Chains A and B, each alone.
Chain A
Amino acid sequence: MDLTYTEEEEAFRARLRAWLAAVLPTLPPKPGPEDWPGRRAYDSTWQRMLHDAGYAGLHWPEDAGGRGATPTQHLIFLEETERAGAPYVGAHFVGLLHAGPTIAAEGTPAQRRRWLPPILRGDDVWCQGFSEPEAGSDLAALRTRAVLDGDTYVVTGSKTWTSHAEVADWCELLVRTDPRAPRHRGITWLAMPMSADGIKVRPLRTLAGSREFAEVFLDEVRVPVANRVGEENDGWRVTMVTLSFERGTAFAGEVIACQRTLREIAAMARRNGSWDEQALRRRIGRLAAEFSVLWRLIQWNVSAARGRTGVPGAGGSVFKLRYSQARQELYDTAAAVLGADALDAAQEWTADRLSSLSYTIAAGTSQIQKNIVAERILGLPKGP
Chain B
Amino acid sequence: MRFQLTDEQRALRRGVRDLLSGRFDRDRMRACLRDAAVDRRLWRELGAAGVFGLRLDGMGLAEAALVFEEAGRALLPGPLVATHLAAGAVDGAAEGETVVAGCDGTLVDHQADADAVLWLDEGGARVLDPAQLVTVALRSVDPMTPLNRVTARTAEGRAVPDAARLRQEAVLLTAAQQCGSAGRTLESAVEYAGLRRQFGRAIGTFQAVKHLCADMLVRVEMARTAVYAAAVTGDPVETAAAKLLADEAAVRNSRDCLQIFGGMGFTWEADVHLHMKRAWLLSTRFAREGEIQDALARSLSAPGIW
Contact = CB atoms under 8 A, between A and B. Distances in A.
A321 B218 contact: yes
Given A3-B229, A378-B217, A383 B301 contact: no
Interface stretch (B85-93, B159-167, B264-272, B290-298): B290-298
12 contacts: A1-B2, A2-B232, A4-B1, A262-B300, A283-B293, A288-B296, A288-B297, A292-B237, A293-B245, A303-B2, A370-B210, A383-B206
A303 B4 CA distance: 6
Interface in A281-316: 281-286, 288-289, 292-294, 296-297, 299-300, 302-304, 306, 315
Given A322-B218, A370-B210, A285 B292 contact: yes
B211 A367 contact: yes
A370 B202 contact: no
* Smallest CB-CB A-B distances: 8 pairs: A285-B293, A285-B297, A289-B241, A374-B210, A285-B296, A370-B214, A282-B293, A380-B204
A289 B205 contact: no
Contacts of B186: 378
Given A289-B244, A379-B190, A380-B205, A1 B62 contact: yes
A3 to B, nearest CB: 5
B75 interface: no
B64 interface: no
B210 A371 contact: yes
What does DSSP make chain B's interface, helix, strand, loop or mixed? helix
Contacts of B226: 289, 293, 296
Interface of A: 1-6, 9, 72, 75, 262-263, 266-267, 270, 278, 281-286, 288-289, 292-294, 296-297, 299-300, 302-304, 306, 315, 318, 321-322, 367, 369-371, 373-375, 377-384
A379 B210 CA distance: 10
Interface string B175-196: 0000000000010001001100
Given A3-B1, A288-B241, A381-B205, A370 B211 contact: yes
B297 A318 contact: no
B2 A293 contact: no
A371 B3 contact: no
Contact of A293 (B229, B297, B298): B229
Interface string B48-82: 00000000000000100000000000000000000
Contacts of A282: 290, 293-294, 297
A205 B262 CA distance: 46
B128 interface: no
B225 A297 contact: yes
Contacts of A6: 1
B151 interface: no
Interface string B278-292: 000000000000101
Contacts of A289: 226, 240-241, 244-245, 292-293, 296
B132 interface: no
A381 B2 contact: no
B62 to A, nearest CB: 5
B244 to A, nearest CB: 5
B152 interface: no
A86 B299 CA distance: 26
B215 interface: yes
Contacts of B207: 367, 370-371, 383
Given A293-B241, A374-B210, A318 B221 contact: yes
Interface string B197-212: 0000110111101110
A282 B292 CA distance: 9
B291 to A, nearest CB: 10
Nearest to A6: B1
Given A300-B3, A379-B190, A380-B190, A266 B293 contact: no
A8 to B, nearest CB: 11
A382 B244 CA distance: 33
B222 interface: yes
B272 to A, nearest CB: 17
B205 A1 contact: no
Contact of A306 (B2, B222, B298): B2
Contact of B301 (A270, A318, A375): A270
Contacts of A278: 294
Contact of A263 (B9, B206, B240, B301): B301
Given A381-B205, A382-B205, A300 B300 contact: no
